[in-house]
Structure 1
Amino acid sequence: MKSSRGLDPKIEAVFRDLLGRIPFLQVKSFRAINEVYGNQPDALVEVEARGKPWVLVVECKRQGHPQHVRHGLLQLQRFLEPTRGRPCYGVLVAPFISKLSADLCAEAGVGYVDLAGNARLAFDQVFIETRVADNPFREKRETRSLFGPRATRVLRVLLQGPLHPWKVAELAESARVSVGWASAVRRELLAREWGVEEPGGLRVKKPHAILDAWVKADDWRKRTTTEEYSLLLPSDPVHLAEKLQDTLKGDRPAFTQWFAAWLRHPHATVPVVTAYVRKLPEETVITEAFLARQVSSGGRLRLVLPKDEGVFSPAQKARGFDLVSDVQIYLDLLPAGLRGDEQAAELRKWPDFAGGWA
């Protein structure tokens, strides 16, 4: 957002565009401040509103997560304190300002501007407010760091209720990742204020916000390899699942999607029995045991090889069957079709979803 030469020219352009929409407002100067130790704001914008001079005190942040915004607001408060009583107005700038971060700025009486088109300026007789839905500048690295294979191992553990604090070392051991990965997830959750630091460690504060963001980042096709089978003879889901367990013997499958959701919180019939396996069996093993043939779609038995074995943990049991976690069942149902999204919604509304998040 700021270089050795001053403020990002994109930010200046956005500012000038916004301020230029007000017919009675004139921009007198736009001055970036190169302060090595951060004891000064990043820029001062001098404007005139109906003949009255105002100074916009600008503080830039590389990220607009709530934690970073709170820090920026404290900095602006420090910069503005000596100007009390004078026509000065603080403005926080970031690549993207989320709705929560925008609310923090409004509560503090501070304006905000981002590169995505979100803005709120309210001083003198000036009022500008615009809002866009999504973040077009979402960093791929940022998304990978929180919803990549290793990080989601940590999220599955944290989202298993009842929600409680976790020390980093204990979290890493339970999720089967390095302490470094557990620490990275902790930092991301705290930055977004989706988690809170307590004496006992990190506790998830906003599980629904985490899951909603995970849904947007998730890609079933990229994280799985699937084999589907059409069955010659009819069979109820329970019998089919029992036979699959017997057929695979030592490699016990972990069921997901409709069958797993039906066992956890019945809502609709089970059109397909889906199970994660650690190794896809030879095709003849399934075709001979079930009088089946492999198909590209429309089958009643689906075997799924995950790219990362984190999907198997935490596990749960129901009526003698191994299941993946409720969070994983939910994620797997959403893109599945055959009204899987309806079953997913019912499962998530259930008070005991993922052990309860109350």
Structure 2
Amino acid sequence: MSENTLINQLPSSLPEGLTLEGLDVLPMGKSGPDLQGILKTPNGEFPIAIEVKNTGGTATFREAARQVKTYAVQGGAVPFVAGQFFGKAARQVAKEEGVGIMDLAGNFYLKKDDVYIEKIVEKNPFAQKIPLKNLFAPVSSRITRVLLTQPKKTWLLGELSQEAKVSLGQTYKTIDRMIEEEMVERNQKNKLVLRNPDQLLVAWKNTYSSYELKKFTFFSFEPNTTTLLTSILEKAEDLPFTLSFFSGADLVAPFIRGVTKLQFYIKRLSDLDRWKKLLDLKEVVDGANVELYIPYDEGVFYRIQKISTSFVKEAPVVSNIQLYMDLFNNPARGAEQAEHLREIKLGF
């Protein structure tokens, strides 16, 4: 978006009671902000310096904020970043950096001395796609899973690509976007470091429910899930499976009492009939006590744990990160179990 477009449209996008006058670009050849003008408020008027930013993530926004602060100090003005639309993350960076924001959607923020004005527009009227969606597509999510499973490890790009089993090109694109969003950064040795695991986890879980798992529900005449699991561990030698959901959580971080279903992933649809025969399962719509899932992507099986307790030995369970994602999106108190798991196992 050009400076001329903002000059024409920004004044009409301001909150009621504010006016923007004398908005113009700097004379040719003079260094400084993209735009400058006078902002009039009920509490007074201020010269402002504006840096225009329309693309990139929070890292790019932060760079613009720091640049305009430099210009503002030189000219005795209030620093602003302006653009088409700024979401929650950009608004937070603006507050951290001490700059104002204004955009064509109507977002506005100013804090100077005793003047505080803020207007928030949550929905982007110009959006054409879901923000960050591509970061968490099934294959790209393998990279997220690897980073969150080993949050303190540093990576060369090629190492991360191999570990996640994702092409080097796709890994580069995904990491580049994560760097833009300040989730990942490069250290002094040019290795990749997970900067904000909490931000990455939250962003992923907010899109995870869109994944399509194939779910099959059955009834077993064995009502005791521990007895049933023990039987599987003894008999299913060539039938790979991995516990998850409440069955996995009951072994890793028990919280919800009275788990009455056995829930696990199987690798292949072609194995389904063998499972039915092995456990003498009856397919049902209601009253299921066994749930089998075929995952949306093989990344679900990354870093399977072998958990032993007083009643089972080396039961395979998905990684704690995968377990958290599966639980959080389960409507039957899954979010409570997920947060308990996060508190005692994830550490962020």
| C-alpha contact 1:252 1:277 (8 A) present in aligned 2 | yes
Instruction: Tell me how far 1:236 sits from its aligned partner.
Output: 2.4
Uncovered stretches (5+) of structure 2, i.e. residues with no partner = 309-313
Instruction: Tell me how far 1:115 sits from its aligned partner.
Output: 4.7
- Distance in 2 (alpha carbons) for counterparts of 1:204 and 1:92: 27
Instruction: Tell me how far 1:314 sits from its aligned partner.
Output: 2.3
Instruction: Tell me how far 1:55 sits from its aligned partner.
Output: 3.9
| C-alpha contact 2:56 2:180 (8 A) present in aligned 1 | no
The corresponding residue for 1:7 is 5
| C-alpha contact 1:92 1:113 (8 A) present in aligned 2 | yes
1:18 to 14, 19, 29: 14
- Distance in 2 (alpha carbons) for counterparts of 1:264 and 1:137: 44
Instruction: Tell me how far 1:40 sits from its aligned partner.
Output: 5.5
- CA displacement 1:7-35 (0-9 Å, x = unmatched): 258xx54542425x22xx55434446798
Say whether 1:341 aligns with 2:339. no
- Distance in 1 (alpha carbons) for counterparts of 2:46 and 2:282: 75
Instruction: Tell me how far 1:277 sits from its aligned partner.
Output: 1.6
| C-alpha contact 1:245 1:252 (8 A) present in aligned 2 | no
- Distance in 2 (alpha carbons) for counterparts of 1:7 and 1:223: 42
Say whether 1:105 aligns with 2:94. yes
The corresponding residue for 2:320 is 326
The corresponding residue for 1:28 is 21
Instruction: Tell me how far 1:134 sits from its aligned partner.
Output: 6.4
| C-alpha contact 2:109 2:118 (8 A) present in aligned 1 | yes
Instruction: Tell me how far 1:292 sits from its aligned partner.
Output: 2.3
Question: What RMSD in Å do the two structures reach over aligned CA positions?
Answer: 3.3
| C-alpha contact 2:139 2:166 (8 A) present in aligned 1 | yes
Question: Using a 3 Å threshold, how does the CA distance of structure 1 residues 226 and 57 change in structure 2: closer, same or farther?
Answer: same
Say whether 1:58 aligns with 2:50. yes
1:212 to 184, 202, 208: 202
SS in 2 for 1:6: helix
- Distance in 2 (alpha carbons) for counterparts of 1:96 and 1:219: 26
The corresponding residue for 1:254 is 242
SS in 1 for 2:101: strand
- Distance in 2 (alpha carbons) for counterparts of 1:134 and 1:317: 44
- Distance in 1 (alpha carbons) for counterparts of 2:323 and 2:140: 18
2:176 to 178, 184, 187: 187
Question: Using a 3 Å threshold, how does the CA distance of structure 1 residues 34 and 189 change in structure 2: closer, same or farther?
Answer: farther
Instruction: Tell me how far 1:46 sits from its aligned partner.
Output: 3.9
1:159 to 132, 148, 151: 148
Question: Using a 3 Å threshold, how does the CA distance of structure 1 residues 106 and 212 change in structure 2: closer, same or farther?
Answer: closer
**Worse-superposed segment, 204-213 or 90-99:** 90-99
Say whether 1:266 aligns with 2:254. yes
Instruction: Tell me how far 1:51 sits from its aligned partner.
Output: 12
| C-alpha contact 2:215 2:292 (8 A) present in aligned 1 | yes
Matched to 2:317, the amino acid is L
The corresponding residue for 2:311 is none
- Distance in 2 (alpha carbons) for counterparts of 1:136 and 1:260: 42
Question: Using a 3 Å threshold, how does the CA distance of structure 1 residues 334 and 138 change in structure 2: closer, same or farther?
Answer: farther
Question: Using a 3 Å threshold, how does the CA distance of structure 1 residues 96 and 298 change in structure 2: closer, same or farther?
Answer: farther
Matched to 1:7, the amino acid is T
SS in 2 for 1:72: helix
2:269 to 280, 291, 305: 280
TM-score for the superposition, normalised by structure 1: 0.81
- Distance in 2 (alpha carbons) for counterparts of 1:49 and 1:141: 35
- Distance in 2 (alpha carbons) for counterparts of 1:339 and 1:117: 38
Matched to 2:337, the amino acid is Q
- Distance in 2 (alpha carbons) for counterparts of 1:71 and 1:7: 22
Percent identity between matched residues is: 25
1:76 to 61, 68, 73: 68
TM-score for the superposition, normalised by structure 2: 0.83
Aligned residues: 341
- CA displacement 1:267-317 (0-9 Å, x = unmatched): 123232121122124654344333322123441111111221111112221
SS in 1 for 2:340: helix
Instruction: Tell me how far 1:43 sits from its aligned partner.
Output: 3.3
Matched to 2:316, the amino acid is D
Instruction: Tell me how far 1:199 sits from its aligned partner.
Output: 3.5
Instruction: Tell me how far 1:114 sits from its aligned partner.
Output: 3.5
Uncovered stretches (5+) of structure 1, i.e. residues with no partner = none
The corresponding residue for 1:293 is 282
Instruction: Tell me how far 1:54 sits from its aligned partner.
Output: 4.5
